[in-house]
A = this chain, B = another copy of it.
Amino acid sequence: MKIALVQMNVVATPKDNLAHAKELLQEAKNLGADIAVLPEIFICGYNNACFPEHAQPENSPFMEEMAKMVGELGIYLVAGSIPELDGDLIYNTSYVYNPQGEIIAKHRKMHLFDIDVKGGQYFKESDVLSPGDTFTTFATPWGKMGLMICFDIRFPELARLLTLDGAKGIFVPAAFNMTTGPAHWELSFRARAMDNQVYMAGVSPARNTEASYVAYGHSISTSPWGDVIHQMDVTEGVAIVEWDLEQVDRIREQLPFLSGRRRDLYELQKK
């Protein structure tokens, strides 16, 4: 099972980004990818002005073009995320397509990114966005997968619940910044992978130091043993990583982190 991390350089306009994504996804297809993953908010620059300006209803020409593109490529696509317009509300939403270009899952970012690090990053998504309220997994021919977006990874509860729902791999379109990226990006992906004994894939935009929000890059995949399988640098590119989902079961047998939970003493539950 081959996963393509598509660390694309995101520009200001949706049309240009979609055309560029198409080129990179063709490269991923040529490299034998089964599932390709784009970064968070790949249709415009990641900032609170972009979200309302470029938010897409599900029947927009952009969305039709995206579905057509995926059908032509014939590949599973975790389509990063886009600002989704639903009535008056805007969500940060990741759509998943099957190789026929049909949407098989969508995840609305559940934990909005509101941070204020002294001398570091400030950002407040909740000024503009609404949070999602569903836990997202989807079936593939290789096994069940989970889906979250960027700041969602900060909350160990979500990765645990996706794992308990049967996810053996979790995809995370993301855009960590130059404060939290160096400090926490690799650590977060390794930790969620180790604790839940799942594969993880995190895809960031390439780093653009001229942008108002500078993404860390370093798209990554980690193994159910907690190792880094591959980590990219900061420039644009497509990296292929291989996942062996049987490894998930083998590791869970050796180290009983899931079966060893003391469910008689504590329980994590959806409401």
Binding site for B on A (CB under 8 A): 110-111, 114-118, 120, 131, 133, 135, 151, 154-158, 160-161, 180, 183-184, 187-188, 190-191, 194-195, 225-227, 250, 253-257, 260-262, 264-271
Contacts and interface: CB of A to CB of B under 8 A. Distances in A.
Contacts of A133: 262, 264-265
Q: How many copies are assembled?
A: 2
Contacts of A195: 154, 156, 191
Given A115-B255, A154-B257, A184 B266 contact: no
Given A114-B256, A254-B116, A255-B115, A267 B271 contact: yes
A188 B260 CA distance: 17
Contact of A270 (B131, B190, B226, B265): B265
The 10 closest A-B pairs by CB, nearest first: A191-B191, A268-B268, A117-B254, A156-B156, A157-B266, A266-B270, A156-B195, A154-B257, A115-B255, A187-B190
B161 A266 contact: yes
Q: Which of A135, A195, A225 has the most CB of B within 10 A?
A: A195
Contact of A111 (B151, B161, B262): B262
A180 B225 CA distance: 10
Given A118-B254, A157-B261, A191-B195, 12 more contacts: A110-B265, A111-B260, A115-B254, A133-B265, A154-B255, A154-B260, A158-B266, A187-B226, A191-B191, A264-B271, A266-B269, A269-B269
A269 B271 contact: no
B155 A262 contact: yes
Contacts of A135: 265
